[in-house]
Amino acid sequence: MTTESKSQEEILVEAARAAKENTYSPYSDFPVGAAVLLDDGQIFKGTNIENASYGLTCCAERVALFSARTATDAKVSALAISIGREGSALPKESLVPCGACRQVMSEFLDPETPVYVDGNRTFTMDELLPYSFILVE
Ligand code: THU
């Protein structure tokens, strides 16, 4: 038996992978999972939810973030994303969150908050979206 404990990254990436088990993606057949870690230790998962009217699809990242925010106003400490089927040989360019999700993520993640992308690397929010739209009056 090992006494080594799992890192925050490993735990969160595993949760993102697990979230794909309930993907609703009959149109693309492309599962995506996301997991949000909050500063109170809670983890919220999300998966992509598609619709016959394709444009109404909601990405996994947004489902996870909206689910977390619905439950609590605790701060987001990290987000993990797992894109595509296990073992698929997607290029690194495909293993990143879409632009719409980046804007939504920037509303809840600080610029330095880590985003762990399964099979790729850890990005900061600021690396993913340096000039996010911010409404300032
Ligand atoms: N998708 C996500 O869930 N997150 C992303 O960042 C990119 C794309 C979903 C939407 C759709 O259900 C499927 O992946 C194929 O585009």
Ordered domains of the chain (ranges, CATH)? 3-128 (3.40.140.10)
Using an 8 Å Cβ cutoff, are 20 and 82 in contact? yes
Cβ of 118 below 6 Å from ligand 1: no
**CA distance between the termini of the chain:** 57
Q: Exactly one of 50, 61, 127, 137 is catalytic; name it.
A: 61
Residue 1 predicted with pLDDT over 60: no
pLDDT tens by residue, 24-54: 999 999 999 999 999 999 999 999 999 999 9
pLDDT at 16: 98
Cα separation of 24 and 109, whole Å? 26
Task: Please confirm, yes or no, whether 61 is among the known catalytic residues.
Answer: yes
Point out the ligand 1 atom lying closest to the alpha carbon of residue 32: 3
Instruction: Express each pLDDT in 103-132 by its tens digit.
Output: 999 999 999 999 999 999 999 999 999 999
Locate the ligand 1 atom nearest the alpha carbon of residue 98 and give its number: 6
Q: Give Cα separations from 73 to 34, 42, 111, 113 (angstroms).
A: 18, 11, 18, 16
Minimum CA distance residue for ligand 1 atom 6 = 97
Whole-angstrom distance, CA of residue 16 vs CA of residue 45: 7
Pocket test for ligand 1, best of 98, 102, 104 (most atoms within 8 A of CB): 98
Ligand 1 site, residue 132, Cβ cutoff 6 A: no
pLDDT score recorded for residue 2: 59
User: What's the number of CA atoms in the CB half-sphere (13 Å) around residue 61?
Assistant: 26
